[in-house]
Amino acid sequence: MTQPENSRAGFVALIGEPNAGKSTLLNRMVGAKVSIVTHKVQTTRARIRGVALEGASQIVFVDTPGLFRPRRRLDRAMVAAAWSGAADADVVVLLIEAHRGLTEGVEAILEALNERAPDRPVALAINKIDRVKSEALLALTEKLNAAYPFTKTFMISAERGHGVDHLREWLAQEVPAGPWLYPEDQIADLPMRMIAAEITREKLTLRLHQELPYQLTVETESWEERKDGTVRIDQLIYVIRDGHKGIVLGNKGETIKAVSQASRAELTEFLGRTVHLFLQVKVRPNWLEERERFSEMGLDFNDGD
């Protein structure tokens, strides 16, 4: 399918408390292919994105980590990432659980939304409607809309698929007019590339949790299926300063070597075949601003320009 003239494209941040159903919804929106792969990884620690095509629109979803009160350093980084996603996205979807309603956690998110994501369309998606009676749903809708001026409210069951098409159609209209962000042929193996990048990023984080700022991104540059049944994966690790490069490499390259080994082992297990992994570290001071780099997974994100 070639890109239509009336194309639209944009980023959609799915936010909500842990367990709200964000991953389930993302998988529904994007399709079976992504759901198969994302089920295998720890989605709570990853910002998995998927790309959906709806009519002439390309919708790029960010599945943020659950928003909660951060304690550990890594948690804080994740929450910051979740919020940066929400603030920079073209559209925000707040997912809540119908049977839990307006919890303290949801109240905290609404407060923060006011501060951090003003002027964005924010849709309310009340999920798990299969668990409550319709009268309760109406009352909840009123209560939530009194608490925050949502652009639109959807009642859905991510698990059963109810209402999901409506939400996706609405998102397709809300994302800005403009060219698609991903070429069509990249969408197919995007999930695998993202997951591979996320696995390496996780190993880096585990290894460097004290020293490394989370301003680091991993991209899968190439993915080559070899005739002998093995896979060659080349990844770039972007840091924002020269000093960070030294930290990632470690003394005599021992850090990067350990990260590479750990990542390769997990990728090999995940893919069920031998993986040859090649990592390269690059300094890129402006990666936060580089929109064209969003073709891969990472903490970088749309700056809304």
Ligand X SMILES: Nc1nc2c(ncn2[C@@H]2O[C@H](COP(=O)(O)OP(=O)(O)OP(=O)(O)O)[C@@H](O)[C@H]2O)c(=O)[nH]1
Residue numbering of the annotated binding site? 16-23, 63-67, 127-130
Cβ distance to ligand X smaller for residue 10 or 21 = 21
Task: Give residue 225's Cα distance to chain centre.
Answer: 25
Residue 240, SS3? coil
- Of 56-75, binders to ligand X (CB under 6 A) are 66
| 213 binding ligand X? (CB under 6 A) | no
Give the number of residues in contact with ligand X, rule: CB under 6 A.
19
Residue 231's Cβ-side half-sphere holds a number of Cα atoms within 13 Å equal to 21
What Cα–Cα distance (Å) separates residue 23 from each residue in 30, 63, 99?
Answer: 10, 7, 18
Annotated binding site for GTP: 16-23, 63-67, 127-130
Which run of H or E residues covers position 85?
A: helix 73-88
- Of 85-144, binders to ligand X (CB under 6 A) are 127-128, 130-131
Cβ distance to ligand X smaller for residue 9 or 125 = 125
Determine the interface stretch with ligand X among 82-90, 135-143, 156-164, 196-204 (rule: CB under 6 A).
156-164
Amino acid letter, 302: N
Cβ distance to ligand X smaller for residue 70 or 250 = 70
Task: Give residue 205's Cα distance to chain centre.
Answer: 17
Q: Is 188 exposed, middle or buried (0-12, 13-18, 19+ CB in 10 A)?
A: exposed
| 18 binding ligand X? (CB under 6 A) | yes
| 43 binding ligand X? (CB under 6 A) | yes
Residues in the chain: 305
| 44 binding ligand X? (CB under 6 A) | yes
| 8 binding ligand X? (CB under 6 A) | no
Question: Measured from the CB of residue 11, what is the shortest distance to ligand X in angstroms?
Answer: 18
Question: Measured from the CB of residue 74, what is the shortest distance to ligand X in angstroms?
Answer: 15
Tokens 């460097």 belong to: 208
